[in-house]
């Protein structure tokens, strides 16, 4: 593999094998990658909880859980199911190989290792994973801003809605955006949208779901302990955007947003109802002067 530059992240490979000699061989062959090692399945599963893994080399015959069982557990977890697993095994009979694929493995490499074959297979599956990640990113992100698109926002939003009791929905709209497009042109309007998006992204928690629903309209779903906490967060965002200055030729263009907040009801509520209440609050904000935050029960 070509050497990775210092500015690039190396792929991380998890090696799971109880034979130390095998591990030493793999460590020497794969020094172009970031490597983690587990001597058994239980340790491997713990490492997966704490690390971002790009590919797993998994032995079949191990004490305790064998490789098949470890693979099935990994593939049953939504957080790890997409990690490619290459079985490394001394077994070459058809039944063992079939079991490896049935458990969820994408490939297998026989011991003793053939260095060029092993590295070639690893490269192939890492490249495939990278391409799939890229496809997934572009399928779920708004092309202009890089935040979640409408479809992904609702997908992740519904998941968060089902899991969270103290959940808040915020609808946001750039004020008088049509005038910005009309006066300065759509390319400048795109600059404004990107700037607003960046400002919002920098001021929300990592577990929030933030998406562009269309045009100049955005939505956030977030958890918080109180309405006052959320109001303060959104007020900080409103002020930060109010302070933005985008330059068009020799003109400084100011931007503001209106915001509507709604709290998830304890019972008989739905995602659609929650967003509708937030949207009603947004319209109240726009109808009472814009550049403000309103709340709707």
Nearest partner of 255 among 267, 239, 268, 270, judged by Cα: 239
Cis bond upstream, residue 112 (ω within 30): yes
CA pair distance 87, 104, nearest whole angstrom: 10
CA pair distance 59, 167, nearest whole angstrom: 43
The reply to whether 216 belongs to the active site is yes
User: 117, 136, 155, 216: which one is catalytic?
Assistant: 216
CA pair distance 115, 29, nearest whole angstrom: 7
CA pair distance 14, 38, nearest whole angstrom: 7
Nearest partner of 173 among 115, 238, 235, 228, judged by Cα: 238
35: alpha, beta or left, given left = phi > 0 and alpha = psi -120 to 50?
beta
For the chain, what is the total number of helices (H) and then of strands (E)?
10, 12
| Spatial contact of 108 and 89, defined as CB atoms under 8 Å apart | yes
CA distances from 150 to 11, 186, 194, 285 (A): 30, 21, 16, 23
Active site (catalytic) residues? 216
């Amino acid at each position: 593999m070509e050497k990775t530059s210092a500015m690039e992240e190396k792929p991380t490979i998890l090696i799971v094998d109880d034979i130390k000699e095998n591990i030493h061989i793999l460590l020497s062959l794969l020094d172009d990658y970031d490597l983690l090692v587990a001597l058994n399945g239980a340790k491997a599963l713990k490492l997966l909880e704490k690390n971002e893994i790009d590919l797993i080399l998994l032995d079949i015959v191990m004490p305790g859980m064998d490789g098949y069982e470890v693979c099935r557990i990994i593939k049953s977890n939504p957080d790890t199911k997409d990690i490619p697993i290459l079985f490394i095994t001394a077994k070459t009979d058809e039944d063992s190989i079939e079991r490896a694929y049935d458990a969820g493995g994408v490939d297998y490499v026989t011991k003793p290792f053939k260095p060029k074959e092993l590295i070639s297979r690893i490269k192939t599956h890492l490249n495939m994973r990278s391409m799939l990640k890229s496809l997934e990113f572009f399928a779920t992100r708004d092309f202009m801003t890089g935040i979640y698109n409408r479809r992904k926002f609702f997908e992740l939003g519904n998941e968060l809605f089902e899991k969270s009791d103290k959940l808040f929905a915020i609808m946001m709209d750039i004020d008088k955006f049509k005038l910005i497009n009309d006066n300065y042109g759509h390319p400048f309007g795109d600059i404004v949208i990107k700037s607003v998006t960046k400002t919002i992204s920098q001021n929300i928690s990592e577990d929030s779901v933030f998406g562009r629903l269309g045009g100049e309209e955005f939505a956030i779903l977030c958890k918080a302990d109180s309405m006052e906490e959320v109001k303060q967060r959104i007020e900080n965002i409103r002020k930060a955007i109010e302070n933005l200055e985008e330059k068009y030729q020799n003109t400084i263009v100011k931007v503001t947003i209106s915001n509507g907040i709604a709290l998830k009801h304890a019972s008989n509520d739905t995602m659609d109802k929650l967003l509708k209440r937030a949207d009603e609050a947004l319209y109240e904000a726009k109808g009472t002067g814009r550049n403000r935050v309103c709340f709707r029960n």
